[in-house]
Amino acid sequence: MLAPVLPQLRSLAVCDSINAQVPYLLRSVVDGGLPNLKSLYIRQTASSSTRNVKIEGALWYESQDGTFHDGREGSIKRQGQASKRDFLKEYVHSIVRGAPNIEELCLISLPSLTDLVSAFDNLLVASSHRALSETGLSSDFSGFKNLKRIYIEVAATYEDEVRNKIHAHASLVLAQQSGLASLESVTNFTPDFPFPVAKIQRDPNGYPDEVVMDRGGGMEIGNEDVAFLYADPDMRCCVE
């Protein structure tokens, strides 16, 4: 019912989406995608692979050549493989194609992103020179030509000092290796407001060479009349 209206949107918040439902919405449900969309908020929710088989769009995926696939079809083994597809590696190209003009992107409760950010804990792994294929980021991120702001959620279990260090390190690597020439900041939605913001600094050639930590609010587009930009958007605007 909402599909004909969606192309008019400037901002969209999708709450409690399961697996591939947002890429499915942008590419398969809405004909032509959402070229006018400037702000996209995605909050994922956990779901078992057996339950995903019964949920529309949860096991959908798009190959690089633009072919759509329904992961619910085929053997149980194939269904399980579709359910385990990595969001950051295997669905970004679909979001780029479906919403190419977004200026801000929020990814909350995304397991592959949580794992990626955790890898930057200097007690665990991390080298700022690791390739995108190793860090878990898709080179398809470079398709977001206008993306200025990214919003993530670094686990609150870390002490503030460690969490900020991970946040800063991950933000610099993201800026350096994603090909996002327009990226200005990466905000971490912590329990405390205002939120820590890693502001990307670039050398004279435009290469990201450091980050400066600051404080700021949540997503801006669609919230121009909101005094305090908290982490969660108004739940009334969420599409579930």
pLDDT digits (tens, 9 = 90+) for 50-98: 666 778 888 888 888 989 888 766 545 555 555 566 777 788 899 999 9
Domain ranges of the chain: 16-101, 103-219
Model pTM score: 0.83
Distance CA 114, CA 121 (A): 11
**What integer pLDDT is reported at residue 239 of this predicted model?**
39
Among 2-6, 95-99, 119-123, whose mean pLDDT is lowest? 119-123
Distance CA 203, CA 23 (A): 34
Segments in the chain forming alpha helices (H): 21-24, 49-52, 76-83, 87-90, 92-98, 111-118, 132-135, 160-177
Burial class (CB in 10 A: 0-12, 13-18, 19+), 229: middle
Distance CA 102, CA 100 (A): 6
